[in-house]
Amino acid sequence: MNLPKRALCLFAVPLITVACSASVVIDIPVSEDNVLVEDNNGSLSNGSGQFLYVGNTGQNGSVNSRRTLLRFDLLEAGIPTDSTIINVNLMLRLSGSASSIERTIHLYPLFQNWGEGTSSSSGAKGAAASIGDATWLHTYFPNALWNSAGGDFSETPSASVVVPAITGLYNWSTDDMVTDVQDWLDTPSENFGWLVFGDESSNRTAMVFHSRQNNTSPPLLSVTYVPEPFVLSMLCFGGGLLVSPRQVDIVHTHQGVFSGETCFPEAFPLGDTL
């Protein structure tokens, strides 16, 4: 994959070694998602349905909360393990709402691994959980359990966004989300993703988002990262500057001005694109 790189370089003289940091933006589709359907028996899920639900649906009597699980595979997306994450943006498409009232939708880091099975519901009621599905009680149906019903997640949200009851794309982007993604990159075995939590204060507060099985705007995480700096060895000579990059597959020659012990790379300014 050819990705755009913007080089920011620090120069030393007269034989110049340049450390360059190239920021890269990559869009990562969700690798797994599921819906936790509140159920005292832990027998319902929606691993392969086209929609994700959060909040209270007003269905199944008084047991009606829904929570969504999302996970993004950073290594499969090709982010080098020594990279520094500098920005993340989660995009979810709202498909519908149980009322016309705006709701605050939170993201919480999860503390346990979980699964996506083949269960599929055409609505919010959920379907019979299949083997490996996350449910209200299970991380992996039918044997592995959450420590707490409804999922094990942080007490503090990484992001909270007020979402109006208007269909469209909505974004979550915070410094805490950057910390989450950096932690997952540094320790992939602890990449459990986020739990999306809606308004569970009363009935009919549910919101509906597109899942990864939906052909239109499935969940997407945009990540901006800086790989480990590469090194450019540069030599000033007469009126010129020779640049020999290491760890890149291109060689540039740029004009510079040599004066005493200082080489000024006039044609290689900060922000030049490699």
9-55 residue pLDDT tens: 444 444 455 555 679 999 999 999 999 999 999 999 999 999 999 99
User: Is 270 a domain residue?
Assistant: no
User: Is 192 a domain residue?
Assistant: yes
Residues 157 and 240 in one domain: no
Which of 14-28, 192-206, 257-271 is least confident? 257-271
Residues 16 and 95 in one domain: no
Contact 67, 122 (CB under 8 A): no
Residues 149 and 249 in one domain: no
What phi, psi does 174 have (nearest 5°)? -145, 165
Of 21 and 155, the structure prediction assigns the larger pLDDT to 155
User: Is 1 a domain residue?
Assistant: no
Residues 238 and 181 in one domain: no
Contact 23, 5 (CB under 8 A): yes
Band of pLDDT at residue 72, cut at 50, 70 and 90:
very high
The conformation of residue 31, written as its DSSP 8-state character, comes to S
Pull the structure tokens for residue 81: 């393990």
199-225 burial, b at 16+ Cβ within 10 Å, e below that, comes to bbeeeebbbbbbbbbbeeebbbbebeb
Residues 157 and 54 in one domain: yes
CA atoms within 13 A on the CB side of 12: 8
Distance (Å) of CA 137 to CA 118, 127, 140: 17, 15, 9
Residues 257 and 187 in one domain: no
Q: What global pTM score does this model have?
A: 0.79
Domain count, the chain: 2
Contact 46, 59 (CB under 8 A): no
Residue 263 has pLDDT above 80, yes or no: no
* CATH at residue 147: 2.60.120
Residue 245 has pLDDT above 50, yes or no: no
Residue 150 has pLDDT above 50, yes or no: yes
Residues 179 and 146 in one domain: yes
Residue 222 has pLDDT above 90, yes or no: yes
Contact 243, 251 (CB under 8 A): yes
Structural domain including 68 reads 31-226
Alpha-carbon distance of 86 to 81, in angstroms, equals 14
Alpha-carbon distance of 35 to 53, in angstroms, equals 6
Alpha helices (H) in 103-202, listed in sequence order = 175-186
Residue 194: CB atoms within 10 Å: 26
User: Is 72 a domain residue?
Assistant: yes
pLDDT computed for residue 22 by the predictor: 75
Continuous segment of H or E residues that includes residue 56: strand 51-56
User: Is 274 a domain residue?
Assistant: no
Residues 46 and 74 in one domain: yes
pLDDT tens by residue, 84-143: 999 999 999 999 999 999 999 999 999 999 999 999 998 999 999 999 999 999 999 999
Which of 261, 256, 249 lies closest to 22 in space, CA to CA? 249
Residues 169 and 258 in one domain: no
pLDDT computed for residue 247 by the predictor: 34
User: Is 115 a domain residue?
Assistant: yes
Alpha-carbon distance of 269 to 45, in angstroms, equals 55
pLDDT tens by residue, 162-193: 999 999 999 999 999 999 999 999 999 999 99
pLDDT computed for residue 62 by the predictor: 61
pLDDT computed for residue 60 by the predictor: 62
User: Is 70 a domain residue?
Assistant: yes
Residues 239 and 222 in one domain: no
Residues 203 and 251 in one domain: no
User: Is 269 a domain residue?
Assistant: no
Residues 10 and 40 in one domain: no
Of 101 and 265, the structure prediction assigns the larger pLDDT to 101
pLDDT computed for residue 66 by the predictor: 97
